[in-house]
Amino acid sequence: MTTAVDSGHSGVAGRTPARIGNCSGFYGDRLAAMREMLTDGGLDYLTGDYLAELTMLILGRDRMKNADRGYARTFLRQLEDCLGPAKDRGVRIVTNAGGLNPAGLADAVRALADRLGIAVAVAHVEGDDLLPRADALGLGAPLTANAYLGAWGIVECLAAGADVVVTGRVTDASVTVGAAAAHFGWCRTDYDRIAGAVAAGHVIECGTQATGGNYSFFARDFPDLAALAHPGFPIAEIHRDGSSVITKHDGTGGAVTRDTVTAQLLYEIAGARYANPDATLRVDSITLSADGADRVRISGAKGEPPPPALKVSLNSLGGFRNEMTFVLTGLDIDAKADLVRHQLESSLTVRPAELDWALARTDHPDADTEQTASALLRCVVRDPDPNTVGRQFSSAAVELALASYPGFTTTAPPGDGQVYGVFTAAYVPAHEVPHLAVLPDGTRVTVDAASETLELAPVPEPDVALRSDSGPTRRVPLGTIAGARSGDKGGSANVGVWVREPAQWSWLAHTLTVDKLRELLPEAADLPVTRHVLPNLRAVNFVIDGILGQGVAYQARFDPQAKGLGEWLRSRYVDIPEELLE
């Protein structure tokens, strides 16, 4: 079927800019953010991102209990308070809170509007849920199977007059791209414009991470920590050519700076090509520049046709998991750990399929508190049988209480094993995935797959001029001059590292190699690591494959989403030329 955007939307194509705010970065974000964004300043559109790989698993289990669920119920709580203000201000809402049941959430929004006596047009996008066809598509038998759709179903809904558009699993940037494309009447081959909106959407999708949240230089840039007590949520002012300004409402907390925007651009990406279903953004083409207080301009974005396949998020139930953490205090920490490990493993009548130990040396010599004199020994078990990792395991640990190392104690009482999930990514040809816009009047519009595609290919690493470092160096933490942001990509993690000054950039590019990263992060020593160089951002981005096992819910490490991985890297000591430290 011919999509609405193909007609050009001549009636709206001249409007500029589109002010698009975001009020949610995850399922559980600040509940008051929707009202704050509606009342603190003018917007054209308000988006909300509620979905993540782990969220889809949570919603999948929710749907198992009740087939009418499977969506982010907090969105309805927010909308009960905010639907009236949004309607009065002419702000149109686009959200992926529909999760596994966008039609159900759309119906719930209509029921809410009727109860409140507010006339709103509600539409939704569906087709991403591939679970009924999972086996036929070669995806096995997962709990959830959802393709990442693009923006054009959202465009259809907005073009039909929807005040609220609910989607299932679209890419995080698609809610922003859809709003911008509808606002300006972009065509599907406007790749540079779409790529610019992808960049803007990627920056604002995680809410306050663009305005000072989770920001490496917070202690330096926010000496008055009260400024970060309640950061404002971000706004993208997108122009017709795809360029944008990232900002926030006046008077709100936090800040928008080149560095806060750089940090978010590096979050959960891979290389210089950032694929989306509607265009591939060349991250290496982006230029950032100051545009006033709390205003950063994103320009120069280049786009390419999207890849021919859509990514599919697969969540499965992996089995059952349990853990016990032993507190080891004072002297002979290693010997105490060896003793309890030998005792527990010897006492198990059935050995779990997986049994992992990790000793965190949080103890300090001659400590002045018992807590700082203690280390933590963590034992994690996984098995398909809940009994193997249930009381049989945790009770065996507790039974050692009077028979093991001196000072025996644990952080929690024995408990039953809990279900854990496994995430895997798959890819399905885009033409195999239905993409349907269900308009406010119930009309169902099919959105065709992209007719022009381009396979993803790595971008050769660009040359970076080597500076001559003949002066003295000082051994200090890498984070003295470098910021970082890290996150999860299924079982892999990314760590983006950037510097502020041009003089520091050559040093970073030539110093922080794959081998150096493996040296600084021993957990990555035996894992595949890929480095990507982004000169315009003065950044290098690393993808570490397999460091998170089988995804977030698998909890392969104590930081299962790799959120602190970049900060660990920043804390590692390296030799930095003194002139770069000034």
What confidence tier does 15 reach under pLDDT thresholds 50, 70, 90? low
pLDDT of residue 449: 97
Please enumerate in sequence order all residues whose Cβ is within 8 A of that of 238, keeping only pairs 6 or more positions apart, or say none: 17, 18, 20, 176, 180, 183, 196, 197, 200, 244
Given a cut of 90, is residue 32 above it in pLDDT?
Answer: yes
pLDDT of residue 8: 35
User: What average pLDDT does this structure show over 528-544?
Assistant: 98
pLDDT of residue 260: 98
Is beta strand 287-290 parallel, antiparallel or unpaired with respect to 296-299? Answer: antiparallel
DSSP conformation class of 206: T
What's the CA gap between 136 and 132, in Å, rounded? Answer: 9
Is beta strand 409-410 parallel, antiparallel or unpaired with respect to 418-429? Answer: unpaired
Looking at the DSSP bridge assignments, the partners of residue 485 are 496
Please report where in the chains the tokens 């279903």 appear, as a residue.
277
pLDDT of residue 262: 98
DSSP run (H or E) holding 281:
strand 280-282
User: What average pLDDT does this structure show over 177-197?
Assistant: 98
Given a cut of 90, is residue 401 above it in pLDDT?
Answer: yes
User: What average pLDDT does this structure show over 148-153?
Assistant: 98
User: What average pLDDT does this structure show over 469-476?
Assistant: 88
Angle between helices 73-89 and 102-116 (to 10 degrees): 50
pLDDT of residue 582: 82
Reported as a single tens digit per residue, the pLDDT across 266-317 is 999 999 999 999 999 999 999 999 999 999 999 999 999 999 999 999 999 9
User: What average pLDDT does this structure show over 23-40?
Assistant: 97
User: What average pLDDT does this structure show over 456-476?
Assistant: 89
